[in-house]
Every structure is written in C-alpha cells, then in structure tokens.
Amino acid sequence: MASKRNSASGSKDVERLLNSAFETSDMQNICRAVDAAVLQSGGVIEIARAAKIDRVTLYRAFRLERGPTLDNMIKVLRVLGFRLIVELRCELASGHEELPKVGWSAGRKRAAASARRFTAAFKSGKMDELAEVFKQTLREQENVAEFAGKTIRTREALYRVFTQNPMPRFRTLLSFLNALELRFAVRRLPRSEMLAKTLE
C-alpha cells in the first residue's frame, strides 16, 4: 500500500517537474526534465526497452542539442505514464484551468481551437492525424512567410515538416506552437491506458 502511495506521489512530482519545464518552452529545460524523469523512474535501460527504442538513442535524445524526434518524445513520456497536450500559454500559468472566453480575439479563439485539435491528435496516438492538424493549422495562417519568421524553420521547411519528413524533431513542433502562442504540457495517462501499456 505504501509503495502505491509513493508511486502516485512520485508521479505527481514528475508531472510537476515536466510541466514546469514545458512552461518555459525551452528545449534544454524540457530535455533535462525528461532525462531526470527517466533516471528517477527506473533508468535508461528499462525505459528504452519499454519505449522500444535503442538505449543509446534514448540517452542521446535528451542530452544533445538537437533533442529527440517527436515520436521518441511521445514514446518516452508514454512509458513514464504521460501524454502530451497542447494549451494556450496563459492556461498553464493559471494552473491548467479553463479561461473565460468572453472578450477573446478571433486569433485567440483560433489558437484555442488549434490547441484542442493538437491535443486530440496526441490523444489518438496517430501520427497521420497529428500531421493533418499541423498542415491545417499552417494553412490557417494568413501570412506563412511571416509566421515562419516566428519559428526556427523557413516557410518551405514548414511545408515539408510532415509531408517529406514523417518524423520531425520535437523542437520543430515546439517552435511552431510557440509561434501560435501555444505550448506543450503533460497529463497523466488514465488508469485504463496505464493498464493497457503494461500489458503490451
């Protein structure tokens, strides 16, 4: 019984650690937090095996400047018991509560709709759905060249992200969301998904 309480408490601590890092939208902070969560949750070998990725890939993914690919970030967080979600920046600052939508600009409402679409795609776990949300959100931008200037990619590179490169770097999507005034956060997987994960 005590171990269940400790793991639940540990899970909450890891969730706070990860969300604090994601609040910064800084790739190095995020990678350090995920790396710390991996070490705290059983070590590189066990997490790599459960995530079905090479141990060296896992070790390097969160310690090198380029950071992980999006799929490796998703796999590692899933093994740790979390799922990526996308929120408006101010939602994170207010403790993940829904903000009143009265007085929101059309751009803010569009950003909130994009956050919901990205979160649904991450929940589905299907990369083709995520690619479609990415492309749809990019098409919604009035001036893609100007939008690209707010990211780490050129306009052309943004168009190629999910069409020619099926697995972009996590930092590309992080930059894309920052330009939309959105950011990543994590949520614990529901108990049913945790059980399914252990049976895989």
pLDDT in tens, 94-135: 444 454 555 567 778 888 999 999 999 999 888 888 888 988
Is the pLDDT reported for residue 176 higher than 60?
A: yes
The answer as to whether 65 is a domain residue is: yes
Which has more pLDDT, 168 or 73?
A: 73
**177 HSE (CA, 13 A, CB side):** 31
By residue range, what is the domain housing residue 134?
2-190
Exposure letters 171-190 (e unless 16+ CB within 10 A, then b)? bbbbbbbbbbbbbbbbbbbe
Query: Is there a domain that residue 171 lies in?
Result: yes
Q: Is residue 25 part of a domain?
A: yes
**What does pTM read for this prediction?**
0.83
199 domain-assigned:
no
Identity at 106, one-letter amino acid code: A
Split into its structural domains, the chain has a count of: 1
Per the domain annotation, does 94 fall within a domain?
yes
Residue 61, domain member (yes or no): yes
What DSSP assignment string belongs to 121-136? HHHHT-HHHHHHHHHH
For residue 53, tell me if it sits in a domain: yes
CA–centroid distance for 193 within its chain: 18
